[in-house]
Amino acid sequence: MRINTNIVKRQVTNWILRLFLILTSFIFLYPFVWNLLSSFKTNTEYLTDPYSLPAGLNFENYINAVKKANMASYFLNSIYVVVLATIILLVFVVPISYCLARYRFFGSKVILNIYMACIFLQATYIMIPLFLELQAVNGLDNRTMLALVYAVMQFPFAIFTLRGFISALPTDYEEAARIDGGSNFKILLNVIIPLCKPGIATITMLTAMGFWNEYPLALVIMTDDTKKTLPIGLANLFEVQKYATDWGALFAGLILVLIPTAGIYLIGQRQLLLGISLGGLKG
Amino acid sequence: MAKKPKLFIAVCTLPVIFLTLVFMIFPMFNAIYLSFTDSTALNVGTASRFIGLDNYKYMFQDKSFFQSLQNTIKLMAVVPVLTLFFSLIFAFVLTQSKLREKAFYRTIFFFPSIISLTIVGIVWSSVFNPNKGILNHLLELLNLENLQHAWLGESKTALWCVAAALIWQAAGYYMVMYIASIDGISKEVYEAADVDGARGIQKFFFITIPLLRNVIGITYVLSLSGTINLSFTLSNVMTAGGPNGASSVLLQYMYTQGMRNANFGYAMAIAMFTLAAAVVLSLLSRRLTDRTD
Amino acid sequence: MKKRLFAAFLATTMIFAGLTGCSSWDSKESSSAGNSDAENSAGNSADQTGEGNAAEQELNIAVFQGGFGDEYWNGVVELFEQEHPGVTVNMTISPTVADIIRPQIVAGNAPDFMALNDSSEDGLILSLMKDKGLMEITDVFDGQNYAETGILREDIKDGLLESSKCAPYTGDQGIYLAPFNTGPQGLIYNKTLFDEKGWKIPATWDEFFALGDTVKEDGRALFTYQGIYPGYLEEVLWPAIASAGGMEAINAICSYEEGSFNNETVLKVLQKIADISTKGYLLKGTVGMNHTESQSEMMLGKAVFITNGTWMESEMAEAPREEGFEFAMAPIPTFHADDVHYVLDSCEQFSIPAGAKNPDLAKEFIRFLYSDESVKLFAEKAGAVYAVKAGRELAKDYVSESTYNMYGIYDETSTASLVMNFESLPSGCKINVSDEVFNPITSVVNGEMTAEQWAESVEAAFAQIRSDKEAADE
């Protein structure tokens, strides 16, 4: 009998919790659902009644978003920048993190302190000097340059995190490899990198996410419409919509961007969540 | 440990340091230098004059600057606290409850933090749209027409709309961090509390929050600096600082002065002020939370 | 061992070199981006025709794409190239064109010609004016027109070239900005609706508000405007001030004179604007709408009047509307029935940056833009009228009847065209005048600020500008 009331009680709390969570989920999801529905509406439909269900599956908005709004090229630009920036970041950051974790050398402490201080330095603060610098070397409107700057802006966070990760690794494997006559370079490649995989994955996920969504720097550096990344392209579409009165294309554009993001998220979710709990810091 | 492989270290570190110097340290010093000049978009470098502290002096009599400072302070006072509060509740509920679909909620709550802030801004602009927005529509359905507003167009509400979007997009992120930390608290602590007959709310306040104090401290600092930086994007996309500057924030005013009014020097003075404020605040709040340990 | 390390070092530096290497390659490509197609095709055709004797020239133009769309510009560029063999025009056209060319100008790589308004949101032209970054083009207007039938100055609509719209510097009559289009701006209304209901166009503010009470019974609001862009209300503010205080009042404001904004006449006008909202004549939600939204609402009949120019008909071509909607335009009300109704002209501008590489060709291009074929093309493709004397007649066959009628607003008795432009700001000035004048409107409309406070805040900004000016003159 007593057990029974306990079970009932638990059931009731469970349902209260569930109700709370479902309501909250609704708040989190509704904007997207509404967006999805609106993306299938014609302009007239949207302007006259934004809440009705769309009259039919009107894909014209999507075609407009791709054709007129340059969505595809924004997309490719973003992918190019994110992939390249992530590669640059890892290529540069893994070796230095290893050195900082394992050796004390001239200036190592200073370097570490500078990088820790630089974690605060967001690209937004220095966008004008960066703009001037890139302009001087003809590096504006240049996706490769943007990727390089992105990578550098994440050096502090990545070095800080990865150095901490490597410091926590046991040195046994390295010693063994060294006795076998492995060079430092080989040890880094064959021992450290495999051991650091979780740390590297964390950094990759977090920084790639940051690159994918970065707005302020790209806003200043990427002005040529054919070179824009998605966040800027979308904001631009939002702007253009004001002149073209094309709401549908805007919503379709948003959905087109959300689909791959959501897809990658669902696949990489586990790694990402793990990464955040491990890394604890976002750039 | 083996002898220091100097060449190896040099190869590993020098390129990184070089790049950092080129793309972070040098621009940083250049920003400081520019803030002491009257540089404009067309007059930089040799064409500009060194004017000492004039930009900083002007800043403290510029009412638009004060307005954006005030708005930033308002956001910093409200956004981190509310964000972390919601994150903690979500994390607590999701870790303590035994619902089968837990992972589903976690996935959904976290989703906003991975999408681009531009999208967040655009989506929330449509939520707050006076005629077509969901919010006014909901109020109408609930017969609360007198609560309807032109949310982004009224000085009293615009900034808080930006705040809502900020909280909405960040709550899931910190939730994940809290979930990890709560999972780290040993089960026995909670089980002991169960035996003592503690209820959920009590457990939340007397076990979870005290044990997470350090993590909360760190996330608070993160959220503080996040608020300063992210509010730029959201306010730029949602309101462009309007109406009448009611939702402008420091970095956005910096952008307006720098890129729109072309006053590079003045913009950098604002940027350096903001950066200094962010660093001081973070160190301060970090120290405060550390001390309580 | 050492060898291997050296290899690693090499590899690293090569990656780096590769990065910088390919980036400089990338940037070369990007400097001509957006036009590469046009360039390529032009290059090909030049090769095929093999015209070696005609000078190969390039003209880089940057055009703001607003309510007029891009058809006219594509067309006129084609015409210009046809009539000037060997010339290739590279056009950048975008609603955010200022953001695209700003870095190019900073980098000393300015376009040769810009079709960009000085009152545009981005502030590019204003900052160029501040730093003397525009080229003087008085000679274009003192020279022959394109058809070589007379002096170009004579063809341009009266009063424009002398105004601060085109000659923005005090004490310097030189022309730095060329007038583009002309058109009245006022209160757009649905003629069909007015005819059906038998409503009369209000001439005075009293009649205006009286009509507001009438339309309220019909379930409509009297007025709406482009909420989040309060700058549109210039179409009400300046004419109303001019009608009440004459051109002296306007000129004083344009030169930031002390007391020019905080005085009885101006306050009277500001109060009327405040009344529209505080007395309940403004469409609900207006302050949160952008221009397309408020314009759609108006066309759906929710509000009777909206401030706008003649371009609204083409801008909103695809928007849903009330049955039988017909565009018409009324002037801004005045205080007394016999006051002159000033109508703000929507003149936009062309200019040549001081750093243009090919200014002579750019000047030729400007000359060409005022030619009859260009003016006709503009009417045909954009439904609007060039700022030339013959503009309206040349456009007659191409624009819609309602647009043509809107241009006829000047035919009515006691109307006068108003050209309004602030004097150029001193270099280093951190004030954005139109922000200072128009942004408070939202606060006034929301009842958070009084007309007096509005006037005071503008006066304060003017005072700052005057002191900046003194500092710059020293």
Is C407 inside a domain boundary? no
Q: Which pLDDT does position A150 carry in this prediction?
A: 95
Residues of B in contact with C474 (CB under 8 A): none
Predicted confidence (pLDDT) per residue in B8-57, tens digit: 999 999 999 999 999 999 999 999 999 999 988 877 777 788 998 999 99
Task: Judge whether residue C4 has pLDDT over 60.
Answer: no
Residue C403, in any domain of the structure:
no
- Token pair in block for residue A49: 């009644």
Give the model's pLDDT for residue C175: 94
Q: A238-252, B192-206, C415-429: lowest mean pLDDT where? A: A238-252
pLDDT tens-digit profile of C291-337?
A: 888 998 999 999 999 999 888 888 888 788 999 999 999 999 999 98
pLDDT given at position C48: 38
Q: Which residue has the higher pLDDT, C156 or A13?
A: C156
Alpha-carbon gap, residue B146 to A139, rounded angstroms: 53
C162 and C197 part of one domain = no
State the alpha helices, DSSP H only, in C318-448: 359-369, 372-382, 391-395, 401-407, 433-438, 440-445
Least confident of A263-267, C11-15, C270-274, C370-374: C11-15
Domain membership flag for residue C116: yes
Nearest CB to C316; choose among A44, A139, A245: A245
Sign of CA dihedral B268, B271, B277, B278: negative
The residue in chain A having the minimum alpha-carbon distance to the alpha carbon of residue C7 is A185
Q: Is C66 on the interface with A (CB under 8 A)?
A: yes
Where does the pLDDT of residue A244 fall: very low under 50, low under 70, confident under 90, or very high at 90 and above? low
Does the structure show a pLDDT above 80 at C34? no
B222 falls in which pLDDT band (50, 70, 90)? confident
State the first-to-last Cα distance of chain A, in angstroms, to the nearest integer: 55
Name the residue facing A126 among B31, B118, B124 (closest C-beta). Answer: B31
The predicted pLDDT at position C23 comes to 35
- Residue C344: in which H helix or E strand, if any? strand C341-345
Task: Supply the pTM of this predicted model.
Answer: 0.84
Over residues C13-26, the mean pLDDT reads: 36
C327 lies in the same domain as C371:
no
Cβ atoms of residues B111 and B172 within 8 Å: yes
All partners of chain B with 3 or more CB pairs under 8 angstroms: A, C
Nearest CA in chain A to B40: A128
Question: What number of other Cβ atoms are within 10 A of residue C26's Cβ?
Answer: 18
| Among chain B residues, CA nearest to A262 | B111
- Chain C residue numbers with beta carbons less than 8 Å from the beta carbon of B58 are 430
Contact pairs from chain A to chain C, CB under 8 Å: 98
Residue of C nearest to A183 (CA): C1
Distances from the Cα of A39 to the Cα of A250, A254, B90, B165, angstroms: 8, 9, 31, 21
Backbone angles phi, psi at C145, to 5 degrees: -80, 175
The pLDDT of residue C22 is 36
Does residue C48 fall inside a structural domain?
no
| Statement to judge: residues C289 and C158 lie in one domain | no
Q: Can you give the residue ranges of every domain in chain B?
A: 49-291
* A115-129, A237-251, C220-234, range with the lowest pLDDT: A237-251
Distance of alpha carbon C329 from alpha carbon B183, whole angstroms: 68
Which of helix, strand or coil describes residue C178? Answer: strand
Q: Are residues C319 and C448 in the same domain?
A: yes
Min mean pLDDT across B193-207, C6-20, C200-214 is at C6-20
Domain count, chain C: 2
CB contact under 8 A, A17 and B93: yes
Beta carbons of C153 and C298 less than 8 angstroms apart: no
CB contact under 8 A, B122 and A96: no
Q: Answer whether residue C160 is part of any domain.
A: yes
The helix (H) or strand (E) run that includes residue C115 is strand C113-115
**Nearest chain B Cα distance for residue A180, angstroms:** 13
Give C138 to chain A, closest Cα distance, Å: 32
In CATH, what is the architecture of B49-291? Orthogonal Bundle (1.10)
Predicted confidence at residue A275, as pLDDT, reads 65
Chain A partners of B173 at a C-beta cutoff of 8 Å? 276, 282
Predicted pLDDT of residue A243: 57
* B267 and chain A in contact, CB less than 8 A: yes
pLDDT of residue C425: 87
pLDDT of residue C17: 37
What residues of C are in contact with residue A68 (Cβ under 8 Å)?
Answer: none
Q: Which residue do the tokens 């006022």 mark?
A: C186
* C365 neighbors C133 (Cβ within 8 angstroms): no
Q: Could you tell me if residue C31 is inside a domain?
A: no
Cross-chain residue pair C127–B11, CB shorter than 8 Å: no
**Residue in chain B nearest C445 by alpha carbon:** B154
C203 and C72, same structural domain? Answer: no
Cβ pair C23:A43 closer than 8 A: no
Q: Contact C440/B44, CB-based, under 8 Å?
A: no
Instruction: Catalogue all structural domains in chain A, each as residue range(s) with its CATH number.
Output: 61-279 (1.10.3720.10)
Residues C106 and C203 in one domain: no
ipTM, interface predicted TM-score of the complex:
0.85
Amino acid type, B42: L
CA distance C474 to C462: 19
- C356 and C339 in a single domain? The answer is no
| Confidence check: pLDDT of B211 > 90 | no
Name which residue leads in pLDDT, A13 or B252.
B252
Please name the residue of chain A whose CA is at the shortest distance from the CA of residue B44: A132
pLDDT (0 to 100) of residue C366? 95
B282 at interface of C, judged by CB pairs closer than 8 A:
no
Does any CB of chain C come closer than 8 Å to the CB of residue B129? yes
**Residue C100 sits at the chain A interface (C-beta within 8 Å):** yes
Q: At what angle do helices B155-184 and B117-127 cross, to 10 degrees?
A: 130
**Chain B partners of C297 at a C-beta cutoff of 8 Å?**
131
Weakest mean pLDDT among A20-34, C227-241, C271-285, C328-342? A20-34
Task: State the number of CA atoms in the 13 A half-sphere of A215 facing the CB.
Answer: 26
- % of chain B beyond a pLDDT of 90: 39
CATH number of the domain where residue C117 is located: 3.40.190.10
Query: Does residue C440 fall inside a structural domain?
Result: yes
Q: What is the pLDDT of residue C396?
A: 87
Confidence of residue B291 (pLDDT cuts 50, 70, 90): low
Distance in Å from the first CA to the final CA of chain B: 36
Is C433 found in the same domain as C337? yes
Q: What is the pLDDT of residue B184?
A: 76
Touching partners of A (3+ C-beta pairs < 8 Å): B, C
The fraction of chain C above a pLDDT of 90, given in percent, is: 52
Does C38 reside within a domain? no
Q: Is the dihedral of CA B61, B62, B66, B72 positive or negative?
A: negative
Helical pair A143-167 and A71-102, crossing angle rounded to 10 deg: 30
By the 8 A CB rule, do A255 and A36 touch?
yes
Task: Report DSSP state, residue B101.
Answer: T
Mean pLDDT of all residues in B70-81: 95
Using the Cβ of A17 and the Cβ atoms of chain C, whether some distance falls under 8 Å is answered with no
Asked whether residue C301 falls in the same domain as residue C448, the answer is yes
Domain containing C313 equals 184-345+421-473
Q: Token digits for C138?
A: 């008085």
Q: What is the DSSP string of C71-111?
A: HHHHHHHHHHHHHSTTEEEEEEEETTHHHHHHHHHHTT---
Claim to verify: residue C148 and residue C253 sit in the same structural domain: no
Q: Which of C128, C133, C153, C156 is nearest to C142 (CA)?
A: C153
Record: contact C442-B266, CB cut-off 8 A: no
Residues C177 and C206 in one domain: no
C204 with C323, same domain: the answer is yes
Res B127 pLDDT > 80:
yes
